[in-house]
Structure 1
Amino acid sequence: MAIKYNIHEIGSNIDPTAPKKFYLRPVSSGEKTLDDLAADISHSCSLTESDVYAVLQSLVREIPRAISDGYIVRLGNLGSFRISINSTGSTRKADVSEANVLKRRLIFHPSKQIKKELDKVTFDKKTSSYKQDT
Structure 2
Amino acid sequence: MAIKFNVHEIGSNIDPTAPKKFYLRPISSGEKTLDDLAANISHSCSLTESDVYAVLQSLVREIPRAIADGYIVRLGNLGSFRMSVNSTGSAKKEDVSELNVQKRRLIFHPSKRLKKELEKVSFERNTILDK
Question: TM-score normalized by structure 1?
Answer: 0.96
Give the SS at the match of 2:127: coil
Counterpart code for 2:63: I
1:82: how far off? 0.1
Residue pairs, 1:1-134, within 5 angstroms: 1-129=1-129, 133-134=130-131
Could you give the per-residue CA deviations for residues 72-108 of structure 1, whole angstroms, max 9, x where no partner exists?
0000000000000111111101100000001110000
Question: TM-score normalized by structure 2?
Answer: 0.98
Counterpart code for 1:91: A
1:17: how far off? 1.1
1:4: how far off? 0.6
Give the SS at the match of 2:65: helix
Moved >4 Å (runs of 4+): none
RMSD of equivalent CA atoms: 0.8
Give the SS at the match of 1:102: strand
Question: Structure 2, unaligned stretches of length 5 or more?
Answer: none
1:110: how far off? 0.3
Matches of 2:96 and 2:28 in 1, distance apart? 42
Indicate the percent of aligned positions where both proteins have the same amino acid.
83
Question: Structure 1, unaligned stretches of length 5 or more?
Answer: none
Give the SS at the match of 2:52: helix
